[in-house]
Chains A and B, each alone.
Chain A
Amino acid sequence: MSAVNLAHPANAMNTPLPAAPSLQHQIEGRALRSILLTSLAWVSALLASVPLISVLYMLITRGGARLNLEVFTELPPAGFELGGGFGNALVGTFVMVIIGAAIAIPVGIMAAIFLAELGPYSRLAALARFAAKTLTGLPSILAGVFAYAMVVLTTGTYSAPAGGVALAVLMLPIVVLTAEEAMKMVPKIMKDAAYGMGSTNTQVILKVVLPTAMPAILTGVMLAVARAAGETAPLLFTALFSNYWIVDGGHLAAMSPTASLAVLIYNFSGMPFDNQLELAWAASLVLVLIVLVVNIASRIFGKPRF
């Protein structure tokens, strides 16, 4: 056994110090490669933010001019009419997103509780997880086809609830997967503590797991809401469009075609009238702003409280 040759202070006295190596930057192969790759990553990051910034810029310059109180309170104009707005579409979008959320959030969170806590290794969980992951990649138009078959055909009419169901199908997997992930992040030792104090399964989930995971769950919910608010395709088959308010003269027209911002943009952008085109730009701006606000809200609510 030979000992490691350490410079013992007593020996170090006698041996001369080694020549100092150069510590300067050196132009050599690996340094150059490092610089190159760093700049490439930098440029790519810049490129990735170009779409959002340019879209925002376009929407603000082209839609911003038309943005006034009138567009929020008036109904869509007909062919050669001037003025008008998309108040009913804004309301319709809100109503359908709320219906979708009212279905997807409770079902999604309950499903996530099963996946994360009750039967994480069960066959049902494996199946549900697979289904949810597949569903996230589902073309949104198919969600519309599903709701068309389930709701439109059975009720015999295009309606806001049908649109809400289509949006729920799109929101559900996002809520399930993010909520499951959020609950899995709750440390096991924290759950042990709750069990160790004599909590039942239900108490552990309700009092420890859910509150601890809530900020992250809210982030997922907000993302789902933001995604649903901007969807057009699933609403084409289910809510269609309407030129009237969903509540008209004190009468709720729940089971009739309902307007939404996304479909209004789709319809108006193809029209040959300047007025409608301007409204489509303004509506796009409003829609992006809604999505932006929801995303910012998810950041605020997504902060852990403790």
Chain B
Amino acid sequence: MSASAQTLVMDCKLDKIFYGDFMAVRDSHVPIEKNKITGFIGPSGCGKSTVLRSLNRMNDLVQNFRFDGHVHFLGQDVYGKGVDPVVVRRYIGMVFQQPNPFSMSIFDNVAFGLRLNRYKGDLGDRVKHALQGAALWDEVKDKLKVSGLALSGGQQQRLCIARAIATEPEVLLMDEPCSALDPIATRRVEELMVELKKNFTIALVTHNMHQATRVADTTAFFSVDISQGSRTGYLVEMGPTDQVFNHSREKLTRDYISGQFS
């Protein structure tokens, strides 16, 4: 990898991730570069979502979760001593697989994070800005008081993106953000991601390899190791998307990409 230290927003060394006795992920080193989209691909159960959720300590909410390694965010280990996971999530935002707006108005949804942090400036301005950033403003500007749940699935997901970017986090973690959307809505969200990387750094888990080739600058391929009756995911290779898809170093990657995995 050619990424110099300056452009690394996150440097994640995931030695071991456990849920209770079950080792979900091992020995994976994932650097995430600034203003790029890093795509995580791999078969089901390979731990790519686990990796993503470990980056902003969402996994702390899971009982018996244990993490060995470090996740450096702008030089600080988010698993370091005295680090508050609540603050980590403020800077490393998340967009989920299922659109999950709160049952409040569109405006309140976007303003949620700002109010959480007692934002002092013009709330309306920031909400508008975030909705514009999520390419939703034109569709909802006349109905900001309407419930966020009244929108279509694709609009809900863009609302969730607007909600996530309203507080201007450094990194956006997106966990299969399009898997619940139809192709047209997917295309819009993909275009949006490419637009968003100008201002944010994005880590994207996707099931869809075409999506990775369309939007990801860097791709990390994970696979799953079925040994001793356990399933442990690990990073097989990572590099510029074009290289991973067209000139992959590992046979495993080539097999997966060409659909020949056993």
Contact = CB atoms under 8 A, between A and B. Distances in A.
A242 to B, nearest CB: 47
A194 interface: yes
B102 A208 contact: yes
A274 interface: no
A198 B86 CA distance: 5
Contacts, number: 71
Contacts of B153: none
A9 interface: no
B160 A193 contact: yes
Name which of B100, B101, B103 has the most chain A CB atoms within 10 A of its CB.
B103
B86 A189 contact: no
Interface stretch (B26-34, B87-95, B195-203, B236-244): B87-95
Interface string A187-213: 101101111111110010001100110
A196 B167 contact: no
B104 A192 contact: no
B102 A197 contact: no
Interface residues of A, number: 20
Given A196-B58, A198-B89, A189 B116 contact: no
A194 B102 contact: yes
Name which of A197, A207, A211 has the most chain B CB atoms within 10 A of its CB.
A197
B112 A195 contact: no
A306 B89 CA distance: 27
Contact of B102 (A190, A198, A200): A190
A304 interface: yes
Contacts of A211: 103-104
A199 B56 CA distance: 13
Contacts of B104: 211, 306
B87 A197 contact: no
Contact of B103 (A190, A195, A196, A198): A190
Given A193-B101, A197-B116, A199-B116, 13 more contacts: A192-B94, A194-B102, A196-B89, A196-B93, A196-B164, A197-B89, A197-B90, A197-B113, A203-B116, A207-B112, A211-B103, A212-B103, A306-B147
Interface of A: 187, 189-190, 192-200, 203, 207-208, 211-212, 304-306
